[in-house]
Amino acid sequence: MKSIAVIGSGITGLTSAFLLKQKKCPVEIYEASSRVGGVIQSVRKDGYLAEFGPNTLLNTSKKIEHLIQMANLAGHVIFAEDVDQTRFLVRGGKVINMPSTALGFLTSPLFSWVAKFNLFMEPFRPRWKNKYEETVAHFVRRRFGQEFLTYAIDALVAGIFAGNPERLSVMHGFPKLYQGEQKYGSLIRTQFFGAHDRKKRGETSKQEARVFSFDEGLQVLTDSMAANLDNMLHLNNTVKKITRTPTGWKVGYLDGDILMEREHSAVLLSTSAYTAQNIALHTDEKLSLAPLGQISYAPVTSVVLGYKRSAVGHSLKGFGMLIPGIERFNILGTLFSTSLFKNRAPEGHVALSSYVGGMRQPELAGLPDGKLFELVHNDLVQLLDIKEKPTFQIAHYHSRAIPQYDVGYGFYKDHVANIQERCPGLFIGGNYTRGPALSDNLLSGFDFADRIEKYVKEAGLIDG
């Protein structure tokens, strides 16, 4: 059979290609840049390990464990320390432990008794009747009240999407919340009944899943899969067009300055939306990928600062802290990297990974590194009682880091679904179709590998 084209070598594309190879399906991977992994990038410098993209993976499925075994990486996995379930939220300029139990919530200084009463009343509130598509902000006000939105959900949305809850669609940005309310009538009831459903599917909730990484960061995973796919991986090859043919698909790409073409049995387009918009789609259906360019992305800069442990007054015994916009700090949140994984800094030092920009303050993300180091350090001094200058500092700017699933996002999902339905053998996906979570996009790779294998078999393009 002709090979399967995978366009883009982020986590979805790499995982799909790796699994297709295991299924004995020939693959060719086109990557426009000089490296694989997309936003996943781990840098070891001066004894520190900095993650420029995602920092952790969640073990939400047995499939993730299976992939690690297939990639021979079991010996490189490191699970987060026991403190990973402790999260902090900033209120009134203070870093406060977020409650994880009902009793802890009742006694927590984070929320007023009005907010606590609103949580108690949530199961008795009516479900949404879909009069119009709801924002996350409207959803939270309706079910929990304004205080929850201001001091919890605003910070959570910034941590996950670097987004704005007044624009983000609950139906598309947090589909499980929307579906839970529609099915069970209450988010609290969803917690009980949803757990039973997940158990039947062999899944673990993100709240309960173990947090892990690898000894030299998440890039260990992408580098390992890329090494396994070495002769199938074509770097610095920019795809310009995809053409339907009587026997499959033809990919037109630039190899240097030369436009080349190669025939394939099927194509997986797993680039970003803003990259996909520039690829011409030639079919009898007169379809276009250009509308994907209208999807907005949040700019984010990751800033990793290192300090002597003795210079930090806070215990750092937790996953990290999220900061509501009302608190008026420059950073969206900070991961306590060395509290999660011990090999992230030299002995006697700590690493703190902070994030700046997003839809809250997009102008900050593009500031010069020196100014960002100063802004982040000043925030951390106030929040974490830091008494000395950093011993290490590094930053990485993502001009378009995370797609925003704003109200009306269903148009883009429907557009992608329509193209796939009308173009058998063309598969499209990435973090603008499944959500920003790394584990979700890794699992999307499993889905695509299975669907592509089924397609080529049913089309008679492979034996089996």
Confidence of residue 100 (pLDDT cuts 50, 70, 90): confident
Same domain? 290 vs 302:
no
Give the N- to C-terminal CA distance of the chain in Å, as an integer.
12
Structure confidence by residue, pLDDT tens digits, 312-363: 999 999 999 999 999 999 999 999 999 999 899 999 999 999 999 999 999 9
Same domain? 397 vs 313:
yes
Report whether pLDDT(198) > 80: no
Residue 132 covered by a domain: yes
**What is residue 200's predicted lDDT score, i.e. its pLDDT?**
62
Same domain? 191 vs 236:
no
Q: Which of 361, 385, 403 is a domain's end point?
A: 403
CATH number at 27 reads 3.50.50.60
**What is residue 189's predicted lDDT score, i.e. its pLDDT?**
81
**What is residue 195's predicted lDDT score, i.e. its pLDDT?**
63
Query: For the chain, how many structural domains are there in total?
Result: 3
Same domain? 235 vs 143:
no
Mean pLDDT value of segment 20-36: 96
Q: Which of 168, 201, 234 is a domain's end point?
A: 201
Same domain? 26 vs 118:
no
Report whether pLDDT(367) > 80: yes
Same domain? 410 vs 288:
yes
Same domain? 301 vs 398:
yes
Mean pLDDT value of segment 117-125: 90
Same domain? 262 vs 250:
yes
Q: Which of 403, 419, 446 is a domain's end point?
A: 403
Residue 341 covered by a domain: yes
Same domain? 174 vs 235:
no
Lowest mean pLDDT among 163-167, 409-413, 436-440, 460-464: 460-464
Residue 104 covered by a domain: no
**What is residue 365's predicted lDDT score, i.e. its pLDDT?**
98
Q: What is the pTM of this model?
A: 0.93
**What is residue 268's predicted lDDT score, i.e. its pLDDT?**
98
Same domain? 74 vs 50:
yes
Residue 105 covered by a domain: no
Whole-number percent of the chain with pLDDT over 70: 96
- For 98, 100, 186, the CA distances from 120, given in Å and listed in that order, are 17, 15, 11
- Both tokens of 10, joined, read 């982020």
Structure confidence by residue, pLDDT tens digits, 53-73: 999 999 999 999 999 999 999
3-state SS record for the chain: CCCEEEECCCHHHHHHHHHHHHCCCCEEEECCCCCCCCCCCEEEECCEEEECCCCCEECCEHHHHHHHHHCCCHHHEEECCHHHHCEEEEECCEEEECCCCHHHHHHCCCCCHHHHHHHHHHHHCCCCCCCCCCEHHHHHHHHHCHHHHHHHHHHHHHHHHCCCCCCEEHHHHCHHHHHHHHHHCCHHHHHHHHHHHHHHHCECCCCCCCEEEECCCCHHHHHHHHHHCHHHEECCEEEEEEEEECCEEEEEEEECCEEEEEEECEEEECCCHHHHCCCEEECCCCCCCHHHHHCCEEEEEEEEEEEEHHHECCCCCCCEEECCHHHCCCEEEEEEHHHHCHHHCCCCEEEEEEEEECCCCHHHHCCCHHHHHHHHHHHHHHHHCECCCCCEEEEEEEEEEEECCECCCHHHHHHHHHHHHHCCCEEECCHHHHCCCHHHHHHHHHHHHHHHHHHHHHCCCCCC
d(CA 141, CA 128): 12
Residue 106 covered by a domain: no
Domain coverage including residue 374: 41-99+210-217+297-403
Report whether pLDDT(464) > 60: no
Residue 464 covered by a domain: no
Structure confidence by residue, pLDDT tens digits, 426-449: 999 999 999 999 999 999 999 999
Mean pLDDT value of segment 15-27: 97
Place of tokens 């009306």: 408
Report the residue count for the chain.
Answer: 464
Structure confidence by residue, pLDDT tens digits, 136-174: 999 999 999 999 999 999 999 999 999 999 999 999 999
Cβ contact 279:239 at 8 Å: yes
- Both tokens of 104, joined, read 């802890």
Residue 364 covered by a domain: yes
Cβ contact 242:281 at 8 Å: yes
d(CA 64, CA 162): 25
CATH number at 395 reads 3.90.660.20
Same domain? 369 vs 445:
no
Report whether pLDDT(1) > 90: no
- Nearest CA among 228, 275, 272, 235 for reference residue 255: 235
Residue 463 covered by a domain: no
Average pLDDT of every residue of the chain:
94
Same domain? 180 vs 193:
yes
CATH number at 142 reads 1.10.3110.10
Cβ contact 151:118 at 8 Å: no
**What is residue 134's predicted lDDT score, i.e. its pLDDT?**
96
Report whether pLDDT(12) > 60: yes
Lowest mean pLDDT among 118-127, 235-244, 298-307: 118-127
**What is residue 204's predicted lDDT score, i.e. its pLDDT?**
61
